[in-house]
């Protein structure tokens, strides 16, 4: 296993990788063939005596071997749920067949029933946990500051569980909530009694925002009326992780600092590990397709965008496409910060921008 004690850094794309962006398909294929031949020696050096070799890697985060073994670096400590004067958090199982759990946060100061925010953590579908300290701290503060009950979903990770596994897990979490709203379980009373199930929001950051979006699409296709007594009032997508084979301007030219949480090389690797085998980034789970002639029956959407994120143009694009499809969209752009600023705090502007984002989330939730 790795021994990494801090949030990982990603290097800027090498010169030859940048050149790939302007090549046609034949040129890329020829270059790949030459590079495979030239790199065969380097790959062989990474094999052990049993022929085990790394086939995918994001430096400092994850290694995937050709025998299926996956190593994830302990870059962020896991922390247990806690009870504090202003917030109570506990872990609960929501899907027994897969033993999946969520961490629920309940403000202790409110006597009124509160909106329910279902949150999916980021990590390129391949790393991360609802127990990571950065998410625990962020969601504890969020629940207390904006006045919501938060259910932070721990879902199965790729590449062991490729998409749609995470979407399935998100759907199971919503169905579990529906059941809790109907049965009034004594075991879950500590949080369910504080929760307004008819005022539910889905949210997440990066890959988690992608999950929130696709779970909402599935709920819509299964008839939102079947959710009762739940009612989905809105989506809050924080730097949603979408992509495509063609490159956007921000993907090509956005210069990422050394401490950036996401660069183009890492993004491509995440998608190779997460999408079904044989798929490319034009798969609809990566690049959603819309029919502008038919109004989408999605609730209102708040999309939070980072000015320095390579995903900025993708995020702006989905704002436009959703609006064209009849969805009520609100967007907020946070200047001077990059991907995952709200949990990594890797910029002097991270804290004030996070406070701004929480204020926007609060206004969005309480105005629906």
100-107 and 87-95 beta bridge pairing = antiparallel
Neighbours of 140 (CB within 10 A): 22
Please, which residues have CB within 8 angstroms of residue 121's CB and are 6 or more apart in sequence? 128, 129, 130, 132, 135, 152, 153, 154, 204, 205, 208
Q: Is 206 a catalytic residue?
A: yes
Distance CA 346, CA 339 (A): 10
Please, which residues have CB within 8 angstroms of residue 99's CB and are 6 or more apart in sequence? 93
Distance CA 25, CA 38 (A): 20
Q: What share of the chain is helix, strand, coil (3-state, %, to 5)?
A: 35, 20, 45
Please tell me which residue in 192, 206, 216, 350 is annotated as part of the active site.
Answer: 206
69-72 contacts, C-beta under 8 A, 24 or more apart: 70/159, 70/160, 71/1, 71/2, 72/2, 72/126, 72/127
Helix axes 350-366, 133-146, angle to 10 degrees: 50
Distance CA 172, CA 59 (A): 32
| DSSP symbol at 261 | S
Backbone dihedral angles phi then psi of residue 347, each to the nearest 5 degrees: -150, 150
Q: Do 178 and 229 contact (CB within 8 A), yes or no?
A: yes
| DSSP symbol at 78 | B
- Tell me how many degrees the CA angle 243-153-183 measures, rounded to the nearest 5: 135
Residues with catalytic roles: 206
């Amino acid at each position: 296993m790795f021994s990494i004690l801090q949030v990982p850094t990603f290097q800027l794309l090498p010169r030859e990788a940048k050149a790939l962006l302007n090549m046609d398909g034949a040129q890329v294929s020829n270059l790949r063939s030459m590079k495979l031949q030239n790199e065969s020696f380097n790959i062989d050096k990474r094999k052990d005596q049993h022929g085990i070799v790394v086939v995918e890697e994001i430096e400092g985060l994850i290694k995937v071997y050709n025998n299926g073994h996956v190593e994830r670096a302990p870059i962020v400590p896991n922390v247990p749920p806690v009870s504090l004067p202003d917030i109570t958090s506990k872990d609960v199982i929501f899907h027994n067949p897969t033993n999946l759990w969520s961490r629920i946060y309940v403000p202790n100061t409110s006597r009124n029933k509160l909106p329910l925010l279902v949150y999916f953590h980021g990590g390129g579908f391949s790393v991360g946990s609802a127990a990571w300290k950065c998410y625990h701290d962020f969601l504890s503060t969020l629940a207390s500051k904006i006045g919501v009950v938060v259910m932070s979903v721990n879902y199965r990770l790729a590449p062991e569980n490729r998409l749609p596994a995470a979407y399935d897990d998100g759907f199971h979490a919503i169905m579990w909530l529906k059941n809790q709203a109907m049965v009034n379980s004594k075991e879950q009373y500590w949080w369910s009694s504080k929760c307004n199930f008819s005022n539910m929001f889905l949210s997440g950051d990066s890959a988690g925002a992608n999950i929130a979006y696709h779970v909402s699409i599935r709920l819509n296709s299964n008839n939102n009326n079947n959710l009762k007594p739940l009612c989905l009032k809105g989506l809050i997508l924080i730097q949603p992780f979408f992509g495509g084979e063609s490159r956007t301007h921000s993907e090509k030219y956005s210069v990422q600092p050394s401490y950036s949480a996401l660069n183009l090389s890492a993004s491509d690797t995440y998608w190779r590990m997460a999408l079904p085998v044989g798929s490319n980034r034009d798969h609809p789970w990566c690049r959603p397709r819309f029919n502008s002639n038919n109004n989408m029956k999605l609730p209102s959407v708040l999309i939070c965008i980072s000015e320095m994120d390579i995903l900025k143009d993708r995020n702006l694009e989905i704002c436009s496409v959703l609006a064209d499809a009849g969805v009520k969209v609100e967007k907020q752009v946070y200047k001077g910060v990059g991907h995952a600023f709200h949990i990594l705090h890797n910029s002097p502007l991270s804290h004030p921008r996070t406070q701004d984002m929480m204020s926007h989330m609060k206004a969005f939730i309480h105005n629906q």
